[in-house]
Structure 1
Amino acid sequence: MIAASPKVHPSGSFKPTTADIIKVKQYFKLFAIPLPDELIDDIIDAASYWAHTSLTVEGCTVARAGADKMYMRTLPLAVYGTEGDFLLDKENLQGEVFVLGGLPPTELECAPPTRAKPFRMIEFQLWSHDQGWGGDHDCQGTYNGAYSWFDASVERLDSMSYFTRSIEWPSSLLFTAADAQRLTDNVTFIQKDIKQPFLPPPSTLQKNIVAERQTTHHVITWTDLDDVKEGSPEAIAAGNRGQGWKSYDGSFIRDLQVGDCITLWMRARFPGWKNEAMKAKITVFWAV
């Protein structure tokens, strides 16, 4: 098997690498009176000058009522070898293997996050729709009364020692639920706060539009500064977008640790309902 090459998506905006960020930090040290590290970090954060990883998955998956499915799992976050943009077609996998961990070439090219809470932003992009019919007549074309939705959860590796050396991370790990019998003999995931809600919970990532046959592209952005309270105008606005207010309380991203994986779950409830996903992209940003 061959290590997969990242495929970069043109974005129209510059996304710095870890090497770029380290270089900028060094420039601040060239002042006649060098800036303290804490101030440099604050400046970098204020500029949203962060490292990132993204994984785009293409391929149709359908979750029918009562049969939740995992659409995708990210690579371990902020681990050497996962930075950059990756694209996979889940219907035509060719046995790709990602080479992760080990020592970077030099400290100037890659450095692991040193802060206790390094993650800053997550952007989810979802292309999906429901069964295209049903639901209360007054709810059709809205997110009210939707029983087809997505949730996100965190899976934590049982040990970060996996990455003290270079390891092969098969692409099959990005699409196999952690409770599958043949996940892998080498990697163990600890599911963190995994729940299977019967109805869309306050932490819902995104509902589908009710009775809409056409694929809709949703973009959801969470940051570590989010602090939405139940019943607030921001919470009401989130609900109007088909998103749970608690997904914007900031706890999800602030609790992330280096090496965590984010899983995207598809759910549907009640006879006839389904969640049909065509494509998804998860982008995660962290401070270096």
Structure 2
Amino acid sequence: MMLPFVHRLRGIRRPSDPPGNNSGNGGGELSQDDMKKSNDDAYYPSCYDVLKVRYLLQHIWKWKRNSEELFPVELVDMIVDAAEYWATSESGLEGETIIRKDQDQALLTTVPLCYDVNTLDSDSPQMLPHRTVHPCRKIIFSILAHDQGWGGGARNKGPYDGSYTWFDTQIIHSAQKPPPCSEEATQGVQHVHFESGNPLLLPSPHKLQSNRTADKNPQLHRITWHYLDDVPSESSEAEDIENSTGRGRATLDGSQVRSLEVGDAIQVWGRARFGGWINHVQRVSVRVFWAV
């Protein structure tokens, strides 16, 4: 059935859709149900769906021409990528989590790239079909959160200026294997104090997303990382995107997506700094897309 393929053609990435174009609702409050409903119309194919469409694309050439030749694989790859018809997996955190000053917390860890989540607890986790050693094509982060609703100084650079509640990401390699007991990052360890000079003391250009400064209304931010993103972190465009959307300027060049390997997982951390700052996290989800 080709109908889902036609639907996904509407999602082709165009130059008019900048990589920093995430949605931050600056108005009224949002519930977890609102966040879920926003994805109701989306269609996400399974690995089997993608393989079936690839088979049809390859063999329709043979059927139409009554020949022994199949449609070239390279052209099938181009069509599938242009339509963004990729397999996906989603990981989510439900329920409110409150992060106070210097109590950083690992909120969720995604399914290892190209692995069957139902087999991760077995001795031999099952690898799913994929294309190349760097199959990741897109990652969509959805965050519903807000800070304490007060504080902060003059916000000359936009609504996220001076925000000290934010989210970071960490890559865990070979996540399909049991983690070493000494590896703190996999245990969701909360730190109690960050000294001056610590790289995690303040939000960095590599941050995933900041909360709007001193806004008690839950904000829904949907951040998309795409393998075709190419905005340099030192550019004025990256600076404008960071100031207007709260997204880290160093996450706009697509390198995070292109460098992911099979078995890698993404861990999302919530952070808060300085007295009185509180990160109220209501829901986080991450959907990872890869080429089959």
Q: Distance in 2 between matches of 1:266 and 1:161?
A: 24
The answer (yes or no) to whether the contact 2:233–2:251 under 8 Å persists in 1 is: no
The answer (yes or no) to whether the contact 2:147–2:211 under 8 Å persists in 1 is: yes
Q: Distance in 2 between matches of 1:252 and 1:143?
A: 23
Structure 2 unaligned spans of 5+: 1-35, 63-68, 190-197
**TM-aligned CA distance change 1:131 to 1:51, over 3 Å:** same
Give the alignment partner of residue 212 of structure 1, picking from 178, 203, 215: 215
Tell me the residue number matched to 1:237. 240
Tell me the residue number matched to 1:48. 84
Is 1:178 matched up with 2:186? yes
Tell me the residue number matched to 2:52. 23
SS at 1:41 equivalent: helix
Equivalent position amino acid for 1:206 in 2: Q
Q: Indicate the RMSD between aligned Cα atoms, in angstroms.
A: 3.0
SS at 1:157 equivalent: coil
Give the superposition deviation at 1:253: 1.1
Give the superposition deviation at 1:255: 1.4
Tell me the residue number matched to 1:144. 161
Give the superposition deviation at 1:178: 1.7
**TM-aligned CA distance change 1:27 to 1:70, over 3 Å:** same
Give the superposition deviation at 1:15: 1.6
Give the superposition deviation at 1:11: 2.6
Tell me the residue number matched to 2:151. 134
The answer (yes or no) to whether the contact 1:80–1:100 under 8 Å persists in 2 is: no
Tell me the residue number matched to 2:229. 226
Tell me the residue number matched to 2:141. 124
Tell me the residue number matched to 1:264. 268
Kindly report which structure 2 residues correspond to 1:63-78, keeping only aligned pairs within 5 A, or say none.
Answer: 63-78=99-114
Give the superposition deviation at 1:128: 0.6
Is 1:283 matched up with 2:287? yes
**Among the aligned pairs, what percent are the same residue?**
36
- TM (normalized to structure 2)? 0.72
Q: Distance in 2 between matches of 1:223 and 1:161?
A: 26
The answer (yes or no) to whether the contact 2:233–2:252 under 8 Å persists in 1 is: no
Deviations 1:88-117 (A, max 9, x none): xxxxxxxxx96568587xxxxx94213121
Give the superposition deviation at 1:39: 1.5
Q: Distance in 2 between matches of 1:205 and 1:267?
A: 11
Equivalent position amino acid for 1:178 in 2: T
Q: Distance in 1 between matches of 2:41 and 2:140?
A: 16
**TM-aligned CA distance change 1:103 to 1:265, over 3 Å:** closer
SS at 2:260 equivalent: coil
Structure 1 runs, 4 residues or longer, greater than 2 Å off: 8-11, 97-104, 137-141, 230-234
Give the superposition deviation at 1:60: 1.4
Deviations 1:224-282 (A, max 9, x none): 11111134343023212111111112111111111111111111112111211011110
**TM-aligned CA distance change 1:36 to 1:111, over 3 Å:** farther
Q: Distance in 2 between matches of 1:257 and 1:136?
A: 42
Equivalent position amino acid for 2:206 in 1: S
Q: In terms of mean alpha carbon deviation, does 202-211 or 13-22 score higher?
A: 13-22
Is 1:13 matched up with 2:42? yes
Equivalent position amino acid for 1:244 in 2: G
Equivalent position amino acid for 2:262 in 1: V
Tell me the residue number matched to 2:32. none
- TM (normalized to structure 1)? 0.73
**TM-aligned CA distance change 1:137 to 1:234, over 3 Å:** closer
**TM-aligned CA distance change 1:111 to 1:259, over 3 Å:** closer
